[in-house]
Amino acid sequence: MSLKEEWINKNYNFLDLLPVKKINSILGKDAMLKVYKDAEIKEKEKLTYNTVIVVRAHNEGMKELLYRYFDDICIADFESLFNIYLPQILISDSMGFERPVISLHITKLNKYEIFINNIILYRDNTTRLLNGVFDDVLNRLKEFGRLEGIKYISGHASLHTQLTKFLSKGFQIDKRKDMRNDELWAMSELTRTSFPFYMAI
């Protein structure tokens, strides 16, 4: 059986998920933001692309497959292995740094949920973008989510400090048993990484 999700608003201008004019104004230059989709992201960011497929596989209880293939998360074609096809959007700057300093990566995890793969909002390699940019991005995500009929926005924080930031914006620790996220939370407390969080919108 194949699990497949699709964006309802396929012609949505995904650049609108970021406050482009505000970001360019703070930077004092054009961040040269570009939108990447699905196959482009799969080639560009295999680990983060596969990570959300692992999350959906866990939600669906595919433990045997996860144990078998998890070590290959950076190289394997998880879509085919798990038969899970989730639409992804990546918005990233083209300012010439070694890694993007402005980036938003999201996935439609299921019919009612958008998963935040990653949010990076920096001026350069060390300085965060302030002036309410983070809040603006979250508000835009909520607006887009409502257009999609989404009920939840979720994600995993790599560090506890990142989790704290999301919690301060109204997100909650994600221990939803129907998604098996209570297991993920227990695991994150042991490993001290990949802390699950979510928000009802």
Question: Could you tell me the pLDDT band of residue 125, with boundaries at 50, 70 and 90?
Answer: confident
User: What are the structural domain ranges in the chain?
Assistant: 3-150, 152-201
pLDDT given at position 128: 87
| Residues 68-102: tens digit of each pLDDT | 998 999 989 999 999 999 999 999 999 988 889 99
Helix residue ranges per DSSP H, the chain: 20-27, 38-44, 46-59, 63-69, 78-82, 133-147, 160-168, 181-191
Give the DSSP letter of residue 122: B
| Residues 150-198: tens digit of each pLDDT | 999 999 999 999 999 999 999 999 999 999 999 999 999 999 989 999 9
| Residues 21-72: tens digit of each pLDDT | 999 999 999 999 999 999 999 999 999 999 999 999 999 999 899 999 989 9
Based on the number of CB atoms within 10 Å of its own CB, is 74 exposed (0-12), middle (13-18) or buried (19 or more)?
exposed
pLDDT given at position 42: 94
